[in-house]
Amino acid sequence: MKKSVVLGLALAVLVAAGGLYASNMAFKLNYTLRATTVGVSLNGTNTLALPFNQQTNLVTAGDLISDIGGTVAVARISRFVPATNATQSYDGVTGTPFALTAAEAYFVQLKPGQTRQYIVVGSHDPSKVVQFNGPGPGSATGQNFYAWPYHSTSNDAGELISELGGTSVISRISRFAPATNSTVSYDGVTGAAFALTPGEGYFVQLKVGVPNVQFIPSHF
């Protein structure tokens, strides 16, 4: 995915997949969250990457459910828990909503017939240090669920692998395929690197023996 950037009076406007508008201060993305649709979404599960600085009213999973359309539209919001390789979910009714964390992507499952055009608004934090946990106490398999920044200089999975240290560090980058509820992966060697799309979250898996990786994403 290539990005077109126009500069003027300290304002950068970026137009990309899904209708993304960005400046040096804020982002606005028109992102499609799809309910169950034959050939498109098996059960209404989508990934969602929020900007590092979310809207001020988005603090917990409950806030995100309300912002998308409430429990009428959203079945659950889930976060990936690296230490157990499992997910933690909140349905807007039962239990306590978990806190939203910068650079962490989420699963959003919509109820039948509730496809939504979700307007995501926020800003980037250029000083945010992102940590990916290698296999060990912090991550059972070295898997991390990453909210890729919308104006990252890494346009595809291969470039993201390179940015994170290359194939000696990264085992694979994976995207969630809603039509099959499975993942599509790229290891930096075999096959073609898939494009990174604003609004999608990605799994980043570190290799066995690699310690935690900390980095500040490069951006336009």
Q: What is the pLDDT of residues 127-179, one digit of tens each?
A: 899 999 999 999 999 999 999 998 889 999 999 999 999 999 999 999 999 99
135 and 207 share a domain? yes
Q: State the pTM of this model.
A: 0.89
Please indicate, yes or no, if residue 21 is contained in any of the structural domains.
no
In the prediction, which pLDDT does 54 show?
79
Q: How far is CA 173 from CA 21, 140, 162, 187, 215, in A?
A: 26, 16, 11, 6, 16
Task: Check if the beta carbon of residue 206 is closer than 8 Å to that of residue 135.
Answer: yes
* C-beta neighbour count of 217 within 10 angstroms: 22
Question: Which of 72, 89, 123 is the last residue before a domain boundary?
Answer: 123
Question: Which of 99, 123, 147 is the last residue before a domain boundary?
Answer: 123
Please indicate, yes or no, if residue 89 is contained in any of the structural domains.
yes
112 and 53 share a domain? yes
Name the residue range of residue 102's domain: 32-123
111 and 194 share a domain? no
Q: Which of 115, 200, 207 is nearest to 167 (CA)?
A: 207
40 and 119 share a domain? yes
Please indicate, yes or no, if residue 142 is contained in any of the structural domains.
yes
The most distant pair of C-alpha atoms in the chain lies apart, rounded to whole Å, by: 48
In the prediction, which pLDDT does 17 show?
41
Note every long-range contact of 64-69, with CB atoms under 8 Å and residues 24 or more positions apart, other chains counting.
64/100, 64/106, 64/108, 65/90, 65/92, 65/97, 66/92, 67/118, 68/33, 68/108, 68/116, 68/118, 69/114, 69/116
Please indicate, yes or no, if residue 20 is contained in any of the structural domains.
no
DSSP 202: E
**Tally of domains in the chain:** 2
Tell me what the mean pLDDT of segment 183-191 comes to: 97
107 and 75 share a domain? yes
In the prediction, which pLDDT does 13 show?
38
| Res 16 pLDDT > 90 | no
* C-beta neighbour count of 168 within 10 angstroms: 8
In the prediction, which pLDDT does 24 show?
54
116 and 157 share a domain? no
66 φ/ψ angles, rounded to the nearest 5 degrees: -60, -40
